[in-house]
Structure 1
Amino acid sequence: MKNWWRGTLLVSLAAALLLAGCSSSAKEGEKPEKIRLDYAFYSPTSLALKKFGWAEETFKKEGIEVEWVQSLGSNKALEFLNSDSVDFGSTAGAAALIAKDKGAPIESVYIYSQPEWTALVTKDGNTIKDVKDLKGKKVAATFGTDPHIFLLRALSEAGLSAKDVQIVNLQHADGANALIKGQVDAWAGLDPHMARTELESGGKYIYRNPDFNTYGTLNVRTEFAKNHPKQVEQVIELYEKARKWTLENPEEAANLLSEEAGIKEDVAKKQLERNNFSEPVPGSQHEKAISAAGEVLQTEEIVKKDTDIQKLVKELINPKFAEKVINK
């Protein structure tokens, strides 16, 4: 476990060097020239925000440019944040915790959804019935993301560990394809790929547990939050506009997700059904869920043994911006 994490960290650092561009942060109190936002198919509200140009409309009035970058998974969003290639990145809460433990200068300032976006999936006809049957099997997962963390927690609950299976590190879409082609026995899935596999390719669930899905968190670089608190509040206000639009227009939201992700509308609806958009302000329930994941990650030596999980979670989750915007 230590070896693969070191390898993944080296890759992330190399990617950070390649991706790094000009920082958007001006000095404290000064206006940034540009705000860089990510969008992701696993964050439906980010798609609405990008589609309708609300950020561009808001920041144009202040002479601030908006740039969009696609995140294919929490691991990619965290690479972008670490390399100063985005100012705001969409991740799972537990993935952000791993990054924070490794020294990533980020804060989770908003909850874009409470999803059931991951589960353990096999292909119809496979003899695997439950988590214990995964012993000795190949399981696809994207290291450092919620599906990977979900897999570790499911294994732990079943009395197994990562050493009992062969984890194949594949980006989410590649993991789905590997399962369909029979190259792996199971896959720690992520929507919308998981919903598509379920509806179109004979995907069969081995294990589901909504409580093991950590929340979708919008993270900001700490330097940006310190230097530009007004712009952090504005971004949260924009996400709130997108969240309310998504709740009020479920059919249009599904159609938008379908178009952007290149998936059928029934797949998009299935994904949206598994998202709860009702609790956008980070709070104690989010801290509890991420802390529980952190304890398993510590057992697997992904989070350092001497890390104070509760303290780390408190350092990661910063509710003050959302509290100011949403509760005003």
Structure 2
Amino acid sequence: MPARPSRRTLLFAAAIALTTTAATACGGGGDSGGGPAGRTTVRIAYQAIPNADLVVKNQKLLEKALPGVDVKWVKFESGGDVNTAVIAGAVDLGLAGSSPVTKGLSSPLNIPYKVVWIHDLIGDNEALVARSAIGSVKELVGRKVATPFGSTAHYSLLAALAAAGVEPSAVQIIDLQPQDALAAWKRGDIDAAYVWTPTLSELTKDGKVLVTSRELARQGKPTADLGVVTNAFSAKHPEVVTAWIKAQDSAVAQARTAPDEAARSIGAELGLPAQEAKRQLSQLVLLSAKEQTGPDYLGTPGAPGRLAANLHDAAVFLKGQKAVDSVPEEAAFGRALAVEELGRAAN
């Protein structure tokens, strides 16, 4: 019987198929993409994360701002999968965690994209959950722990193990997407998992949290969900990028001033009651466009923010874990921050 193809192989094939379809319809990415001749298409990667990105999607804020543009939202399970799709030329804009973005900007991937937005600073919405009999991270030695490889959760799991003095090789780390990890948990196939909400909420019903990403951030290993745009699309369609940033900024303002309204949209996208969506939204730190131009985040032209150093530090850590081949200089991460695009939309 032939070997069954892996999920990642299938995803890459699907991404290639999507790219081929778009190219056939319009002669290249970022143009008609199956829509009427001459219209621009923007293909946006999103994930089931309870932040303002889902408000933009649910309320069609970008579609309203750009009636002459075809907006296509494509769902992915993790940032590693988003990287695969970007490499395949299947998406133009999208959400990926800071760890997969770090990997994307490092060797061997070297993806030609840049960070244009911080969707959220990850806090208690990502965590390591274990069976109730497991009392500490050290007790994971010899146990099976699931996490999506290449994600911020994977990075945080490695950071938690390092902080506890546990070698990753001493733990059976399994590559599973959040829903697959939940299924494995229910079957009793794994002992712990590092994942994000809404799956995290399901795991905590009969498991216990050993460490959260908020705690790891305090220990110098911060993570975030970032918005990336390909260099080619940003250069060809700056007006779309500006409108996208403004839509995100508007959704953040709504999440802050009218959280019930934002939560209804997020709940509709995730299939959750509005109150639960509101609770999960509160676990994240959202930043306005103006705040993101500050020195602690993306910064301004000529003065890249602290995010560049954070990504560089993450690359150094991932190199030590043999997750990337080499570490670009910090200035390279600074050049990958789309401060001009952000500045145009923030003013």
Specify the TM-score bucket, using the shorter chain as the normaliser: 0.7 to 0.9
Cα deviation, 1:8-60, whole Å, max 9, x if unaligned, reads 9877654542332424335xxxx862112233221521211112122112211
Which of 42, 45, 53 is matched with 1:46 structurally? 53
In structure 2, the CA distance between the partners of 1:309 and 1:190, relative to structure 1 (3 Å rule), is farther
Aligned counterparts of 1:33 and 1:173: Cα–Cα separation in 2: 34
Check the 8 A contact 1:113/1:279 in 2, yes or no. Answer: no
Q: How much does 1:311 deviate?
A: 3.7
In structure 2, the CA distance between the partners of 1:230 and 1:259, relative to structure 1 (3 Å rule), is closer
Which of 83, 87, 103 is matched with 1:82 structurally? 87
Cα deviation, 1:254-296, whole Å, max 9, x if unaligned, reads 2322222123445323321111112542242322332332221
Letter in 2 for 1:295: V
Name the residue aligned to 1:320. 340
Q: Please list, as runs of the form range in 1=range in 2, the aligned pairs for 1:138-153 lying within 5 A after superposition.
A: 138-153=144-159
Cα deviation, 1:215-262, whole Å, max 9, x if unaligned, reads 111100111012222221111111111111111121222232222212
Check the 8 A contact 2:128/2:211 in 1, yes or no. Answer: yes
Q: Please list, as runs of the form range in 1=range in 2, the aligned pairs for 1:306-317 lying within 5 A after superposition.
A: 306-317=326-337
Cα deviation, 1:97-138, whole Å, max 9, x if unaligned, reads 112221212111111111213111113x3x211111111110
In structure 2, the CA distance between the partners of 1:94 and 1:225, relative to structure 1 (3 Å rule), is same
Matched, 1:132 2:142: no
Check the 8 A contact 2:213/2:223 in 1, yes or no. Answer: no
CA-based RMSD of the aligned residues comes to 2.4
Q: Please list, as runs of the form range in 1=range in 2, the aligned pairs for 1:174-253 lying within 5 A after superposition.
A: 174-198=180-204, 201-210=205-214, 211=217, 212-253=221-262
Matched, 1:18 2:39: no
- Secondary structure, aligned partner of 1:189: strand
Matched, 1:155 2:161: yes
Matched, 1:288 2:318: no
Letter in 1 for 2:134: I
In structure 2, the CA distance between the partners of 1:294 and 1:307, relative to structure 1 (3 Å rule), is closer
Q: Please list, as runs of the form range in 1=range in 2, the aligned pairs for 1:92-107 lying within 5 A after superposition.
A: 92-101=97-106, 102-107=109-114
In structure 2, the CA distance between the partners of 1:113 and 1:154, relative to structure 1 (3 Å rule), is same
In structure 2, the CA distance between the partners of 1:195 and 1:253, relative to structure 1 (3 Å rule), is farther
Check the 8 A contact 2:315/2:324 in 1, yes or no. Answer: yes
- Secondary structure, aligned partner of 2:42: strand
Check the 8 A contact 2:43/2:91 in 1, yes or no. Answer: yes
Extract structure 1 runs of 4+ deviating beyond 3 A.
7-16, 264-267
- Secondary structure, aligned partner of 2:71: strand
Letter in 2 for 1:149: Y
Which of 68, 73, 81 is matched with 2:78 structurally? 73
Aligned counterparts of 2:59 and 2:274: Cα–Cα separation in 1: 19
TM-score by length of 2: 0.82
Name the residue aligned to 2:127. 119
Name the residue aligned to 2:25. none
Aligned counterparts of 2:339 and 2:139: Cα–Cα separation in 1: 41
Check the 8 A contact 2:147/2:181 in 1, yes or no. Answer: yes
Aligned counterparts of 2:270 and 2:344: Cα–Cα separation in 1: 33
How many residues in Structure 1 have an aligned counterpart in Structure 2?
311
- Secondary structure, aligned partner of 1:243: helix
- Could you tell me the percent identity over the aligned residues? 24
